[in-house]
């Protein structure tokens, strides 16, 4: 087995290994909330375990985590609570797991959302990534299973990918702890607003839909000038999402 | 303040939605994927010649092939069950010796020496402690073998292939191929099987899998089957065939369970679950070498915790109730013997007796204590000597001793056959019922899942009893 | 014990038989009783309103006698109902013919809205077979209040059309317009999209449903004469009698938007072939459709067979880098063009 010190960042000037403590399930008194989202079977739970030092069971089965799991780690004297969301293919349908994941990102207002993707099947995973980037403005892409992608002769240019998506991209192999220090460093920088990011919004939408979305999101922004995801709410209103409608009526959607 | 504006926004949304028409969702998903493929074009280069890892393809071709697919599956399931039953024997008897033969007398002596009154001593150690100890001794070893093995197969990625192979069979009864797996998990523990149905994401098929999981004979019930088959079924054939006959009887019961599972899946999908949404979704993930020791360790800890939790939460109260009903007297009769007598008539109609029915009522929390409870109640009611004395659960080391007590309690071959059937077909244990409620969040489905197998059990036992009495 | 196994068995089967007779699905005494008990003037009135509305849009006028002949209610119930409807100003008599008043018109639109929304609901959110939708909605339309219907409409995203293409009236009675030509009037070689399958009369509607023809699919006519109309749609060939084809409304497409000839269904894909997905057939609805889209079965994606099953079904397809198993029923709803 390779050792974690193989990772380039373990010794680099940015990462501070002494500042890291894995806190397991001690999730009280945290400074930041970090959500962990991603497709089923991308090794999301392995990333969760690598970050928290927990041993939540991770199956090679799409859709293992249905109840969300929580853990924590401490880095540079700041405590991060980590919430592992159910793996979903999308946030547009109405299944139970999708609702749990969606509601947490929307109403739980995590400081940072880590989106775990399978590097060898990036295209399919981007479907969810693009949807999440419509909801939240603070996210990092965890390009997991990078070893598997290499084995399959897939090369990913992380710089181009990061530029296209407008968020930081960290390649990892969570099973061997590779890339985890970089991920922690990035999460910490995002949480402390040290990196400025501008997530990509979905393009190429048919004109009539785009027009309707514009009209609706303008109306929403006029009502709530600070709302970060008016476009996404507009998407859901057009779908007739009753939960979003109720949240809008009750004011929950803008509550801090 | 802004309520009116919100109303306007919602009205606007309604109007716009109406204008853009019904293809909205399709168009949106298509544009997201189109966007995704643009990004991938930019950032990803692929050597197209070998896009899929070759070993994966080779393994897949074998495990889903026409010739090898099913034999490999049956072989693996057989090995897992065999390892569980054989492998659990030794640690189970070790645990039984430790918890029941050594610690139990020690605790009772301790109680006496520090001056516990007899009833407190009995209640705590003969009731609560014994039930907990029994559940741990019977359930822990097989669980600790069965589930880690399953988890390894799961981590490797083989299980989705099983679902893939079996789907056509399950589809016929309106169920999902993944039910093959939750059913197999049920052979270990029904509660675990019910939790495992989370892998089925179609609401209708998931409910079917939950409701019918109890038809998988769980680890708590295998010992009952094996004991009764050895005593009664093995005895009707010549000695050389007796172990073969009893083994076939046990396997027959398990297979009958599978038959009932298919039948009720079909019946449910045609009736109460008819209108539920049904989707099919099965991803075949790439194979990944399991992290062997870590998996074994995690799974072992998980299972041990579940068994202990269950023993304390469910078995302990059952033990208390068993002790109480056999020690509280109304007039000259204990509650236990009074209940046994009033259940005798109904029991007889089903080819069972009052003792068995009462044992199954008090053993709802844990099927493992059915046999000890039956033995205790039989001694209590018939007044014969044997075991630990009145009102204490026990099991005998010798099979013949157990047989003698049961025969003295009026057992015949019919009784044994019907107990084996009833052990397969009755309400789930309370851990499973609780799990079903938590998973479905619905009183209605929990009730149906609890009562359906019981009704099936009553009907089957009744019919067997009548036909038996007419023919024999 | 004083007991005879024969008698016990006899009693058991006797009780089972009685339970069966009482609770048999649909035909059981319990359900028959429930049905007659529920039958009341409200339902009769609403059915008469619907009948009048449909005939008025087709410019047919009806007499009271016609109503009695067209509806499966007793004469006295209908006559009673008509009287009540006159009293509450829902209908008026012009000579022999019964006409809807304005408020009658509004009321019938409300019922039609409830009916069509419920059909949409059944198609999107439940697992009932498409042949059952109409019948279930016929009952449900009488139970939904105005408020229920509005909520339902929001839940479904304010749909414009019901699953067989009829426009759903909005709460203010607005309806989307559909301009089209009956399939029977189409010239050979013309291409169009099915926009409406008329569910009236029911015999013809059921025939169309049995043919696996569905709304929004593209058709190309290859033969049209007095005895039969032959056309291609979604990779299959259909032959219909003109009277049946007359109940299918087509919106003619000027340009050939899609080259219909080469489109086939995913089920026909063989090992070692690759194909491009053209889209999902409109038969795939609701949760099932959304799931397929989420999994990446979208327009333009390349697809090939990854694994065959020892029992033949399902098959695993390689799509966007992942192996996903689909049942035959699902694969037959995905339209592809082989490379």
pLDDT in tens, B184-199: 989 988 988 998 898 8
The token duo for B346 is: 């109904």
Query: Distance between CA atoms of B354 and B363, rounded to whole angstroms?
Result: 14
The mean pLDDT value for B77-96 works out to 88
Distance from CA of C21 to the nearest CA of A (A): 39
Distance from CA of C126 to the nearest CA of A (A): 13
Among A156, A172, A74, residue whose Cα is nearest residue B41: A156
* Long-range own/partner contacts, residues B332-340 (CB < 8 A, 24 or more apart): B334/B380, B334/B391, B336/B377, B336/B380, B336/B381, B336/B391, B337/B380, B337/B381, B340/B377, B340/B381
| 8 Å CB contact of C294 and A89 | yes
C313 Cβ under 8 Å from any chain B Cβ: yes
B451 Cβ under 8 Å from any chain C Cβ: no
The mean pLDDT value for B29-42 works out to 91
The token duo for C242 is: 């003109």
**CB distance A36 to A172 below 8 Å:** no
| 8 Å CB contact of B43 and A161 | yes
C301 Cβ under 8 Å from any chain B Cβ: yes
Contacts of B44 in chain A (CB under 8 A): 122-123, 154-157, 161
For residues B53 and B150, the model is more confident at B150
| 8 Å CB contact of C309 and B284 | no
Residues constituting chain A: 256
Going by pLDDT thresholds of 50, 70 and 90, the confidence category of residue B94 is very high
Is the pLDDT score of A251 beyond 70? yes
Q: Who among B16, B53, B297 is closest to A151 (CB)? A: B53
**Per-residue pLDDT tens over the stretch B339-356:** 999 999 999 999 999 999
Torsional class of A49: left (φ above 0), alpha (ψ -120 to 50), beta (otherwise): alpha
| 8 Å CB contact of A123 and C290 | no
Distance from CA of A129 to the nearest CA of C (A): 12
- Residue in chain A closest to C154 (alpha carbons) equals A240
Beta strands in chain C (DSSP E): 62-63, 91-94, 97-100, 181-182, 191-197, 218-224, 229-233, 236-240, 248-252, 263-265, 274-280, 302-307, 315-319, 322-326, 334-338
Query: Distance between CA atoms of C314 and C327, rounded to whole angstroms?
Result: 4
Q: Which of residues 183-202 of C touch B (CB under 8 A)?
A: none
**CB distance C105 to C89 below 8 Å:** no
B275 Cβ under 8 Å from any chain C Cβ: yes
- φ, ψ of residue A52 to 5 degrees: the values are -100, -15
Substitution target from A24, A115, A126 for chain B, most B beta carbons within 10 A: A126
Judged by DSSP in three states, C107 sits in helix
**CB distance C226 to C175 below 8 Å:** no
Query: Distance between CA atoms of C143 and C168, rounded to whole angstroms?
Result: 18
Contacts of C321 in chain A (CB under 8 A): 120-124
C201 Cβ under 8 Å from any chain A Cβ: no
Contacts of B34 in chain A (CB under 8 A): 204
Q: Residue written as tokens 């020496």? A: B113
Distance from CA of B304 to the nearest CA of A (A): 14
Report CA-CA distances (Å) from C15 to A30, C22, C211: 65, 11, 43
Q: Using a cut of 0.80, tell me whether the model's pTM lies above it.
A: yes
b/e string for C50-84 if b means 16 or more Cβ within 10 A? Answer: bbbbebbeeeeebebebbbeebebeeebbeebbee
Check residue C161 and report its DSSP letter: B
Torsional class of C321: left (φ above 0), alpha (ψ -120 to 50), beta (otherwise): left
b/e string for B185-218 if b means 16 or more Cβ within 10 A? Answer: bbbbbbbbbbbbbbbbbbbbbbbbbbbbbbbbbb
Q: Who among C154, C320, C322 is closest to A240 (CB)? A: C154
Contacts of A216 in chain B (CB under 8 A): 9, 12-13, 16
The mean pLDDT value for B412-424 works out to 95
The mean pLDDT value for A150-154 works out to 85
| 8 Å CB contact of C294 and A238 | no
| 8 Å CB contact of C287 and A92 | no
- Residue in chain C closest to B168 (alpha carbons) equals C313
How large is the greatest C-alpha to C-alpha distance in chain B, in angstroms?
89
Q: Who among B3, B17, B154 is closest to A60 (CB)? A: B154
Distance from CA of B187 to the nearest CA of A (A): 19
C6 Cβ under 8 Å from any chain B Cβ: yes
Report CA-CA distances (Å) from B97 to B68, B104, B219: 43, 10, 19
Q: Which of residues 119-178 of C touch B (CB under 8 A)?
A: 125-128, 154, 157-161, 170
Q: What pLDDT sits at residue B107?
A: 92
Contacts of B42 in chain A (CB under 8 A): 157, 160-161, 164
Distance from CA of C129 to the nearest CA of B (A): 8
**CB distance C54 to C11 below 8 Å:** no
Is the pLDDT score of A57 beyond 60? no
| 8 Å CB contact of B39 and A62 | no
| 8 Å CB contact of A202 and B302 | no
Distance from CA of A75 to the nearest CA of C (A): 36
B277 Cβ under 8 Å from any chain C Cβ: yes
Q: Label residue C136 exposed, middle or buried (CB < 10 Å: 0-12, 13-18, 19+).
A: middle
Check residue B25 and report its DSSP letter: H
Whole-angstrom distance between the N-terminal and C-terminal Cα of chain A?
Answer: 45
**CB distance A248 to B10 below 8 Å:** yes
Other C-beta atoms lying within 10 Å of the C-beta of residue C13: 11
Among C321, B456, C8, B225, residue whose Cα is nearest residue A154: C321
> What sign for the dihedral angle of Cα C100, C101, C102, C107?
negative
The mean pLDDT value for C205-234 works out to 84
Interface predicted TM-score of the whole assembly (ipTM), two decimals: 0.88
Whole-angstrom distance between the N-terminal and C-terminal Cα of chain B?
Answer: 83
For C210-263, give the DSSP string. Answer: HTT--TT-EEEEEEE-SS-EEEEETTEEEEE-HHHHTTEEEEEPSS-SS-GGGE
HSE value, Cβ hemisphere, 13 Å, CA-based, for B61: 7
The mean pLDDT value for C171-197 works out to 84
Q: Who among C12, C159, C325 is closest to B284 (CB)? A: C325
C316 Cβ under 8 Å from any chain A Cβ: no
Query: Distance between CA atoms of B170 and B314, rounded to whole angstroms?
Result: 33
| 8 Å CB contact of A124 and C321 | yes
**Per-residue pLDDT tens over the stretch A71-125:** 888 898 899 998 888 888 899 877 777 888 888 888 888 999 999 999 988 999 9
Query: Distance between CA atoms of C167 and C159, rounded to whole angstroms?
Result: 9
For residues A10 and C93, the model is more confident at C93
Contacts of A90 in chain C (CB under 8 A): 290, 293-294
CA B19 to chain centre: 53
For residues B307 and C301, the model is more confident at C301
Q: Which range, B41-50, B415-424, C316-325, has the best average confidence (pLDDT)?
A: B415-424
Query: Distance between CA atoms of C193 and B174, rounded to whole angstroms?
Result: 34
Distance from CA of A76 to the nearest CA of C (A): 39
Mean pLDDT of chain C: 85
- φ, ψ of residue C7 to 5 degrees: the values are -65, -40
In degrees, rounded to 5, the angle at the alpha carbon of residue C176 between the alpha carbons of residues C170 and C182 is 140
Distance from CA of B20 to the nearest CA of C (A): 9
Report CA-CA distances (Å) from A65 to A60, B280, C287: 11, 19, 21
Q: What pLDDT sits at residue B76?
A: 92
**Per-residue pLDDT tens over the stretch B281-292:** 888 888 888 878
> What sign for the dihedral angle of Cα C326, C332, C335, C336?
positive
Other C-beta atoms lying within 10 Å of the C-beta of residue B169: 14
Query: Distance between CA atoms of C265 and C276, rounded to whole angstroms?
Result: 11
In degrees, rounded to 5, the angle at the alpha carbon of residue C162 between the alpha carbons of residues C156 and C167 is 110
Query: Distance between CA atoms of C313 and B280, rounded to whole angstroms?
Result: 12
The token duo for A214 is: 């514009």
Torsion of CA C20, C26, C28, C29, to 10 degrees: 160
Among A184, A176, A189, residue whose Cα is nearest residue A23: A184
Query: Distance between CA atoms of C324 and C332, rounded to whole angstroms?
Result: 15
Q: Who among B43, B50, B201 is closest to A164 (CB)? A: B43
- Residue in chain B closest to C2 (alpha carbons) equals B345
Q: Who among A130, A157, A249 is closest to B32 (CB)? A: A130
Is the pLDDT score of A7 beyond 80? no
Is the pLDDT score of B306 beyond 90? no
- φ, ψ of residue A137 to 5 degrees: the values are -105, -5
C1 Cβ under 8 Å from any chain B Cβ: yes
In degrees, rounded to 5, the angle at the alpha carbon of residue A113 between the alpha carbons of residues A110 and A115 is 155
Query: Distance between CA atoms of B440 and B237, rounded to whole angstroms?
Result: 46
Q: What pLDDT sits at residue B267?
A: 94
In degrees, rounded to 5, the angle at the alpha carbon of residue A183 between the alpha carbons of residues A182 and A184 is 90
**Per-residue pLDDT tens over the stretch A165-218:** 999 999 999 888 899 999 999 999 999 998 888 899 888 888 989 999 999 999
Q: What pLDDT sits at residue B51?
A: 52
Among B110, B201, B108, B196, residue whose Cα is nearest residue B146: B196
Q: Label residue B74 exposed, middle or buried (CB < 10 Å: 0-12, 13-18, 19+).
A: exposed
For residues C34 and C108, the model is more confident at C108
Contacts of A66 in chain B (CB under 8 A): 198
The neighbouring-strand residues paired with C337 are C263, C276
Contacts of B469 in chain C (CB under 8 A): 5
Contacts of B177 in chain A (CB under 8 A): none
Substitution target from A63, A92, A127, A151 for chain C, most C beta carbons within 10 A: A127
């Amino acid at each position: 087995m390779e050792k974690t010190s193989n990772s380039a960042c373990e010794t680099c000037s940015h990462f501070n290994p002494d500042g890291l403590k894995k806190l397991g399930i001690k999730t009280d008194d945290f400074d930041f909330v970090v959500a962990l989202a991603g497709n089923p079977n991308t090794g999301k739970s392995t990333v969760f375990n690598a970050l928290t030092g927990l041993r939540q069971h991770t199956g090679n089965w799409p859709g293992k985590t249905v109840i969300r799991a929580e853990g924590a780690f401490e880095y540079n004297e700041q405590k991060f609570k980590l919430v592992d969301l159910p793996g979903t293919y999308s946030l547009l349908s109405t299944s139970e797991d999708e609702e749990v994941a969606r509601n947490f990102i929307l109403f739980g207002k995590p400081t940072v959302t880590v989106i775990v993707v399978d590097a060898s099947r990036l295209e399919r995973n981007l479907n969810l990534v693009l949807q999440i980037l419509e909801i939240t403005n603070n996210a990092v892409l965890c390009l997991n299973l990078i070893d598997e992608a290499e084995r399959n002769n897939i090369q990913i240019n992380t710089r181009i990918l990061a530029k296209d998506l407008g968020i930081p991209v960290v390649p990892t192999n969570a099973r061997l702890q590779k890339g985890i220090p970089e991920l922690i460093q990035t999460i910490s920088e995002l949480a402390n607003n040290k990196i400025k990011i501008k997530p990509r919004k979905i393009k190429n939408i048919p004109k009539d839909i785009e027009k309707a979305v514009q009209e609706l999101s303008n109306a929403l922004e006029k009502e709530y000038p600070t709302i970060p995801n008016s476009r996404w709410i507009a998407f859901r209103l057009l779908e007739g999402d009753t939960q979003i409608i109720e949240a809008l009526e009750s004011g929950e959607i803008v509550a801090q | 303040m802004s309520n009116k504006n919100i109303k306007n926004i919602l009205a606007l949304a309604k109007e716009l939605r109406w204008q853009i028409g019904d293809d909205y969702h399709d168009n949106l998903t298509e544009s997201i994927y189109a966007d995704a493929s643009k990004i991938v074009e930019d950032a990803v280069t692929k050597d197209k010649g070998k896009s899929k890892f070759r070993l994966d393809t080779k393994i897949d071709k074998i495990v889903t092939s026409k010739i090898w697919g099913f034999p490999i599956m049956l072989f693996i399931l057989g090995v897992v069950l065999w390892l569980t039953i054989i492998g659990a024997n030794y640690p189970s008897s070790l645990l039984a010796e430790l918890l029941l033969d050594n610690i139990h007398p020690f605790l009772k002596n301790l109680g006496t020496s520090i001056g516990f009154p007899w009833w407190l001593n009995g209640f705590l150690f003969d009731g609560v402690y014994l039930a907990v100890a029994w559940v741990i001794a019977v359930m822990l070893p097989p669980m600790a073998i069965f589930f880690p093995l399953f988890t390894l197969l799961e981590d490797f990625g083989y299980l989705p292939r099983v679902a893939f192979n079996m789907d056509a069979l399950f589809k016929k009864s309106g169920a999902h191929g993944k039910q093959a797996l939750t059913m197999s998990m049920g052979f270990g523990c029904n509660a675990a099987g019910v939790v495992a149905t989370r892998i089925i994401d179609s609401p209708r098929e998931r409910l079917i899998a939950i409701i019918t999981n109890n038809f998988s004979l769980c680890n708590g019930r295998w010992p009952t089957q094996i004991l009764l088959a050895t005593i009664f079924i093995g005895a009707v054939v010549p000695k050389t065939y007796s172990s073969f006959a009893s083994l076939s009887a046990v396997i027959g019961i398990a297979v009958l369970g599978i038959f009932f599972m298919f039948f009720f899946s079909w019946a449910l999908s045609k009736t109460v679950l008819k209108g539920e949404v049904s989707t099919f979704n099965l991803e075949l993930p790439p194979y990944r070498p399991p992290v062997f020791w870590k998996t074994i360790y995690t799974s072992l800890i998980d299972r041990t915790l579940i068994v202990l939790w269950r023993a304390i939460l469910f078995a302990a109260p059952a033990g208390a109730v068993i002790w109480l009903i056999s020690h509280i007297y109304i007039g000259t009769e204990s509650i236990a013997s009074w209940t046994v007598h009033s259940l005798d008539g109904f029991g007889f109609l089903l080819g069972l007796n009052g003792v068995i029915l009462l044992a199954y009522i008090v053993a709802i929390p844990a099927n493992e204590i059915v046999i000890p409870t039956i033995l205790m109640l039989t001694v209590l009611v018939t007044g014969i000597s044997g075991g630990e004395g009145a009102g204490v659960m026990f099991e005998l080391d010798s099979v013949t001793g157990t047989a003698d007590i049961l025969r003295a309690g009026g057992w015949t071959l019919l009784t044994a056959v019907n107990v084996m059937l009833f052990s397969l077909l009755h309400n789930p244990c309370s851990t499973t019922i609780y799990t079903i409620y938590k998973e479905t969040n619905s009183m209605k489905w929990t009730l149906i899942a609890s009562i359906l197998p019981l009704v099936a059990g009553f009907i089957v036992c009744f019919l067997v009893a009548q036909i038996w009495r007419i023919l024999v | 014990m004083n007991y005879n196994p024969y008698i016990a068995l006899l009693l058991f089967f006797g009780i089972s038989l009685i339970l069966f007779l009482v609770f048999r699905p649909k035909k059981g005494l319990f359900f028959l009783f429930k049905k007659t008990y529920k039958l009341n003037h409200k339902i009769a009135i609403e059915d008469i309103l619907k009948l009048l509305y449909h005939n008025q849009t087709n410019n047919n006028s009806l007499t009271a006698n016609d109503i009695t002949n067209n509806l499966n209610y007793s004469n006295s119930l209908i006559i009673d109902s008509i009287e009540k409807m006159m009293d509450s100003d829902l209908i008026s008599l012009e000579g022999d013919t019964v006409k809807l008043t304005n408020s009658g018109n509004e009321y019938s639109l409300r019922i039609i809205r409830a009916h069509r929304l419920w059909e949409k609901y059944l198609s999107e959110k439940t697992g009932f077979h498409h042949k059952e939708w109409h019948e279930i909605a016929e009952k449900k339309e009488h139970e939904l209040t105005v408020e229920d219907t509005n909520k339902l409409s929001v839940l479904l995203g304010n749909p414009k059309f019901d699953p067989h293409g009829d426009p759903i009236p909005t709460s203010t009675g607005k309806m989307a317009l559909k301009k089209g030509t009956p399939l029977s009037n189409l010239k050979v070689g013309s291409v169009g999209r099915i926009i409406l399958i008329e569910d009236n009369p029911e015999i013809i509607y059921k025939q169309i449903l049995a043919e696996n023809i569905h709304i929004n699919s593209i058709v190309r006519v290859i033969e049209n004469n007095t005895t039969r109309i032959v056309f291609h749609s979604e990779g299959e060939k259909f032959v219909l009698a003109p009277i049946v084809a007359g109940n299918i409304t087509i919106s003619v497409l000027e340009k050939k938007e899609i080259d219909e000839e080469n489109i086939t269904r995913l089920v026909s894909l063989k090992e070692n072939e690759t194909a491009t997905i053209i889209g999902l057939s409109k038969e795939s609805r609701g949760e099932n459709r959304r799931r397929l889209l989420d999994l990446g079965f979208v327009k333009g994606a390349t697809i090939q067979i990854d694994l065959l099953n020892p029992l033949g079904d399902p098959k695993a397809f390689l799509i966007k880098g992942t192996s996903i198993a689909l049942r035959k029923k699902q694969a037959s709803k995905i339209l592809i063009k082989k490379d």
